[in-house]
Chain A
Amino acid sequence: MGNVGAKETPVLLTPDGRRIDGRRLDELRTLQIQAGPLRQADGSAFVEWGANKVMAAVYGPREVHPRHLQQNDRAVIQCKYNMAAFSVDERKRPGLDRRSQEISKVIGEAFQSVVFTEEFPRTSIDVYIEVLQANAGTRCAGLVAGSVALADAGIPMADLLPAVAVGKIGGSIALDLKKEEDNFGEADLPMALVPQSGRLVLLQMEGHMTEEELSRALDLGVAGCREIYEKMKAALRDRYSLAPMSGVAR
């Protein structure tokens, strides 16, 4: 995004390597994942990641609407990423914009590469991602939520998809940027990993990095993804735990 308005660039990194919220360069924000909070959806997940709050719901496989998108040999994945009007400081004008269309597309394509779509020809798997509160890294939070929701919906897929953004702030490579770091930093590099194969299925970049920095950023991001992966699995385990009935439902 570069510098916004006439605001002064804050100090993003102290000399002893602390960030504005006290994190180290390789530290994630707090991440909480809840699997299956919604009743009507086939699968759902709620993610609170730093100050991000993202809800995802999965429907399907079901009949394709509109019909012309139907594929004879596989399911189509229709992903819709949307930011609530109240998700940012200034009211976000509701509805589709170029940014949300792009994010819907790249997230949908990431899912397309892990979901076993051949299993449900002529159907649609619909993933709805609603950003309720945004603080940088919402496409990654959306991927994490959508992926847990897909697993909750019983959709067959090669793996869960952990995702995280790595950036460059104050000249250093840092994991999981928050809003101020994203706004005033030098680069932002969101990525999504297939842990089972080690493949990246989403990789975008904004800003500038040297080749050497990019390679370090990728290593840092992959390590971050593996950490997030464990939390995604823990959330699903929690929902489907086989512990004896404790008396209280949910």
Chain B
Amino acid sequence: MSRGHRPGHRGRGREESSSHPSGDRILVLPGEEVPARGLKPGPGTYRVGGKVYACVLGLLSPAPPVIQVIPLSGRYVPKPGDVVVGTVTDVQGTFWLLDIGAPRWAPLHMTGTPWKIDVGETDRYLHVGDAVVVQVENLDPTGRIGVTMLGEKLGKLEGGTIVRVSPARVPRVVGRGGSMIQSITRLTGAEITIGQNGRIWIDGPPEAIRRASEALRLIEENGHRPGLTDRVEAYLLATTPTDPVDGAPPDASDRPRDPAERDGPSGPEGTAPPFGEP
């Protein structure tokens, strides 16, 4: 059996590859034979005998000289240069371990931060549970993920909420040329940072956070279908910021509350705890 792909080398759908999800791409499942037509087995495929089969659930996409399958689900596959949102899971003497939704935890070394830290003082800067924006720097062959906090718009996150979407949906959240995220920002007033790992940080007034999370949930559930930007815009335009919500001023509480209102953003799941003092 020869394998067409290697660790960290799977063609994750970036913007250009999944902006036309319905196109002429075919949904394939693990174990299904794919028509190779002389192409070599690429990421998401394997070869037995003379035949090529899919090994992940995804969209068949010929990319000469190889044929590949672009996964529609699965964990985040890190790529150097990606900006990701992570949470601290462990604090060591010289580094922190971050959960960035990848198969492994990513070590953030103290030299990769804007702070001047002495060995053993790491816990004065970041604690378990803190949220950060970092950039993937390198991947070693054993799968270790090197990340850095040195760079523009990188650093510790204070306040706000983290919403998770599937990493395969990130290109749809961004939209073509950033159109989707611009719409959401414009129509909700929320400040949004998208991690390539599908973790999205939203800050702003509670109402803005709620509506932005709801828009992201729509994308998460319909991300593989066409016509998404229009639908999300229509949703945001139909629900104006004056709608009654939890956390509205006290005078709103004597109004009968619409039960549907409470199924909004999915409660505590996927949200980060509020951050304490630094």
Judge if B55 is at the interface, Cβ distance under 8 Å: yes
Contact flags A130-165 to B (C-beta < 8 A → 1, else 0):
000000000000000000000111111111100000
- In the complex, the chain B residue whose C-beta lies closest to that of A159 is B31
Residues of B within 8 A of A196 (CB): 31, 33, 48, 53
Query: Is B96 interfacial (CB-CB < 8 Å)?
Result: no
Main secondary structure, interface of A, reads loop
What is the minimal beta-carbon distance from B56 to any residue of chain A, in angstroms? 5
Of the candidates A40, A72, A158, A245, the one whose C-beta lies within 8 Å of that of B55 is A158
Contact with A along B241-278 (1 / 0, CB 8 A): 00000000000000000000000001001000000000
Q: Which of B27, B225, B269 contacts A40 (CB 8 A)?
A: B269
- Taken together as a complex, chains A and B put the C-alpha atoms of A123 and B10 apart, in Å, by 17
A118 to B9, CA, bound (A): 13
Q: Report whether B225 and A156 are in contact in the complex, using a CB–CB cutoff of 8 Å.
A: no
Contacts of B178 in A (CB 8 A): none
Which residues of chain A from 34 to 77 have any CB-CB distance to chain B below 8 Å in the complex? Answer: 39-40, 42-43, 60-63, 72, 75
Q: Which of B33, B53, B168 contacts A158 (CB 8 A)?
A: B53
**Bound Cα distance A118, B141 (Å):** 12
Output the least CB separation between A182 and chain B (Å): 29
| A63, B90: Cα distance in complex, Å | 13
Contact A160 B269 (CB under 8 A): no
Number of interface residues of A (CB under 8 A): 42
**B31 near A195 (CB under 8 angstroms)?**
yes
Q: Given A63-B105, A196-B53, A244-B227, A154 and B75 touching (CB < 8 A)?
A: yes
- The chain B residue with its CB closest to the CB of A194 is B31
Q: Are A244 and B22 in contact (CB under 8 A)?
A: yes
Q: Is the CB of B30 within 8 A of A244?
A: no
Q: How far is the CA of A116 from the CA of B45 in the complex (A)?
A: 11
Q: Is the CB of A240 within 8 A of B103?
A: no
Cβ–Cβ < 8 Å partners of B231 in chain A: 245
Q: Select the residue from A156, A158, A195 with max chain B CB neighbours within 10 A.
A: A156
Is there contact, CB below 8 Å, between A236 and B29?
yes
Is the Cβ of A63 less than 8 Å from the Cβ of B3? no
- The answer to the question of A208 belonging to the interface, with a C-beta cut-off of 8 Å to chain B, is no
Question: B127 at interface (Cβ–Cβ under 8 A)?
Answer: no
A123–B105 Cα distance when bound, in Å, is 10
Cβ contact within 8 Å between B224 and A240: yes
CB-contact partner of B103 in A40, A120, A159, under 8 A? A120
In the assembled complex, B2 has its CB within 8 A of some CB on chain A: no
Counting CB contacts under 8 A, is A241 at the interface? yes
List of B residues within 8 angstroms of A63 by Cβ: 104-105
Query: Known contacts A154-B72, A154-B75, A240-B72: does B3 contact A116 (CB below 8 Å)?
Result: yes
Indicate if A6 sits at the interface (CB-CB under 8 A).
Answer: no
CB pair B222 A249 closer than 8 Å: yes
Establish whether residues A152 and B31, one from each chain, have CB atoms under 8 Å apart when the complex forms.
no
A243 interfacial by beta-carbon distance below 8 Å: yes
Question: Counting CB contacts under 8 A, is B179 at the interface?
Answer: no
- Whether A152 pairs with B57 at a CB distance below 8 angstroms is yes
Does B195 sit at the interface, judged by CB under 8 A?
no
Q: How far is the CA of A123 from the CA of B5 in the complex (A)?
A: 18
- Given contacts A121-B143, A152-B57, whether A160 and B31 have CB atoms under 8 Å apart is yes
Minimum CB–CB distance from A33 to chain B (whole Å) comes to 13
Distance (Å) between the CB of B58 and the closest chain A CB? 8
Which chain A positions have C-beta within 8 A of B218?
Answer: 249
Contacts of B168 in A (CB 8 A): 154
A194 to B48, CA, bound (A): 13
A24 interfacial by beta-carbon distance below 8 Å: no
Give 8 nearest A-B pairs by CB, closest first.
Answer: A154-B74, A159-B31, A61-B103, A154-B73, A249-B221, A156-B55, A245-B225, A196-B31
**Contacts A63-B104, A121-B143 known; 5 new A-B pairs at CB < 8 A:** A62-B104, A159-B31, A160-B30, A244-B226, A249-B222
